[in-house]
Structure 1
Amino acid sequence: MAVDVSNYKGLIFDMDGTLIDTMPSHLRAWEQTAEQFHFPFDQEWIHSMGGMPTQKVAMQLQARYHIDIDPQKVADTKTGLFAHLIEDGSIIKCTFDVLKQCYGEKKLAIGTGSNQTNAFKLLEHNGILPLVDVVVTAADVINHKPNPDTFLLAAQKLGLKPSECVVFEDTEIGRQAALAAGMDCIMVKDGQLYA
């Protein structure tokens, strides 16, 4: 489905699962981490946490399964495993096409829950970094998705009001963050865009 973004001055894209198909790599890294730390691996639940920083997911795991793990150690392990799988992610064509079409015409930002190092590696590896004006990662905000801070900071750095921006997201947590920021949200599902 083609989406009309003509009413917006700024486009803010989530990264994982929205612009770059990294979810299989993230899930593989989580599965390997679960084996190392002996906690259950629920692929669907982990996927639903998409957009949330790794350490916060580890804290959620601790609460969900009532297990005694060090969330920082779990997060560091998962991040390290993912770093080895980083080049497995491929471009998601429907959103990348929108980004390319709007390059030079609208202000473009990335608003991701990924850590800074992995985010910049992924964006660079896929040729996206030179196309965007602003990148906001987990390191740039305290309150992550579903809180609106990631997207509000992206809009602020673009010099735009929230109402002048639209967000592209693939998770419910991300959609909640966009709506909480006062922005419209276009969802990406199975390689299609849904306004």
Structure 2
Amino acid sequence: MATKNVPAKKSTTAKASTKESKTASKTPAKKDAAKDLSDLFEDGLKDIYWAEKALTKALPKMHKNATEPKLKNAIADHLEETKEHVRRLEGCFKALKKRAQAKKCDAMEGLLEEGKSIMEETKPGAVRDAGIIAAAQKVEHYEIATYGTLAAYAKVLKEKDCLKYLLSTLDEEKNCNNLLTKIADTNLNSKAINN
């Protein structure tokens, strides 16, 4: 049985990506843009330092609005951990022989604003508690991603003191996220159905 040579069709995906690359342009770097991994690492530390400090102000509001005792306890405990996260980040800056400096974190600002909106848009009780958990877990996921990335940078840069601090905080963020899941799964979300 003979096979015919069939001309290959041009991929529509290839056409689309060529068209996109013609219209997309590279983003110009700012004057103070990171030039290497150590600059990127320092920028990331400044970003999460701002985020953790902002979180120390937001967690008491979440605590005040929560009604589920286990959730209130988890938030209170995490507030104390967050204060320690701030101190660890200050330890990182010290290890790098840099002044601890915060740089506004747009991502955390947005997440905290969303959390505030959720509290305003839900009735107190199980529904608001479920919303607080959702908002808190978004924060935790952001922090887990950030601390994981910064720990990877610290490892490559051989910043052992920073790596130790970052990994300790990463573990606590993961534990907090798991606890929030457990609280939501142990009847809280079900209570929110008929609240």
Give me the TM-score of the superposition, normalised by structure 1. 0.27
- Which structure dedicates a bigger proportion of its chain to strand? 1
Larger-Rg structure:
2
Greater fraction of residues in helix? 2
Which of the pair has the greater relative contact order for Cα pairs under 8 Å at 6+ separation? 1
TM-score, L = length of structure 2: 0.27
